Structure 1
């Protein structure tokens, strides 16, 4: 479960409203154009984060960054016995490798400046709960959670905090479409004590908390935004 375009857009706009100077990075220029039309203060950068060299070239001259949200993700569902090498590599390149690479670039700058920083990786409840046909997706999110913890360990001495948010199903337009079948929705929702899925704002607000000084002592945490799903 991930925020997709609607969630990424909402996160960028929320940060801009809070006064942050936002640099939005995605591979689709049309999405960036519409985002800038809605908020002209946002700086757009178009690059495929799965491309290591292109990412390095695009981000190397970006100004000092103190806050980072790693929210690039893709999902391709296959039964375990039908997973192909290409599908495996694609999901790991975007969901894990890209997050590691962008965080390296940003954290090096934070360390060089001696400034405090905060990084939030957008993970999923799927990192901790097996889901049918999600073998590779679940595995990438589990890897992202452990990457979060190792980053917290190694970057903490430089006063750079690293945490993740782990949402359940999020009611974006795609989420509503994908979970519109009452029987399918009930199977998942019946395991959520609060009895409903997450809204985009629930995840965005958690991200804002982890980025802010209000979470100054929170480091290495994988924060469920799931209404109690993982707790039960």
Structure 2
């Protein structure tokens, strides 16, 4: 399916690794001009070597003022992927203020800030746009030791719907993808123990975790005009986990 993304300009957060990096690579291959945002300069350097023409921006999205300085003049952006996130896992009774602060700053507040920057520019230009928030199956199912992470992703799902409601009249669509465990390098490292993996795999009807391209394909579809009647949706990419 031809998605017709060539010539557009996209911004991807959390672009240094995993889903974000693969999304940048796929957009670049589709002829999109990409602004790649990461807090790790080394990851951006290697990404630019792989994808010449990508514009790197190194910033810690938990820092509101630094983010405003780094992205406030980023220029016209048509497509936004809010992928940056942290997962600080603690038993509920041991959750710390620091874990709450950094999780909500990156997983939710930064989504609001970066989306505001992009949406305000789209509205000023009178241009349509598409925003995809990378959420999780953890937004809708309780997972042990994930209380703060689940809370941030649950909030992201509702934020997605409110953004879609308010930005829709400006022809800006907002959707979320909600993956299960994804076999990024981090995913493989965190879920390589068969006993730990079994706790999730037993709840997935398809019996396997997601590959990165399963998620990236949905992100690109939601960014494209092929999904022009879809907004305010949270799309599971979970092998049926949320159906059980």
TM-score normalised by the chain length of structure 2: 0.92
The separation in 2 between residues aligned to 1:3 and 1:197, in whole angstroms, is 21
Which residue of the other structure, out of 44, 47, 51, is the alignment partner of 2:59?
47
The separation in 2 between residues aligned to 1:3 and 1:15, in whole angstroms, is 12
How far is 1:4 from its partner? 7.9
How far is 1:172 from its partner? 1.1
The separation in 2 between residues aligned to 1:3 and 1:171, in whole angstroms, is 16
How far is 1:174 from its partner? 1.6
The separation in 2 between residues aligned to 1:3 and 1:58, in whole angstroms, is 15
SS in 1 for 2:80: strand
Which residue of the other structure, out of 169, 182, 192, is the alignment partner of 1:180?
192
Spell out structure 1 runs of 4+ moving beyond 3 A: none
What does the per-residue CA deviation read over 1:137-190, in whole Å, with 9 as the maximum and x for residues that have no partner? 000000011100000000000000000000000011121121111122122111
Aligned counterpart, 1:198 = 210
1:33-182 superposed matches below 5 A: 33-182=45-194
Residues 76 and 91, structure 1, Cα contact 8 Å, conserved in 2: yes
Structure 2, unaligned runs of 5 or more = 1-13
How far is 1:6 from its partner? 2.0
Which residue of the other structure, out of 30, 37, 40, is the alignment partner of 1:28?
40
The separation in 2 between residues aligned to 1:176 and 1:27, in whole angstroms, is 22
RMSD of equivalent CA atoms: 1.3
How many pairs are equivalent?
Answer: 231
SS in 2 for 1:230: helix
How far is 1:3 from its partner? 9.6
Aligned counterpart, 1:227 = 239
Residues 145 and 222, structure 1, Cα contact 8 Å, conserved in 2: yes
The separation in 2 between residues aligned to 1:189 and 1:96, in whole angstroms, is 28
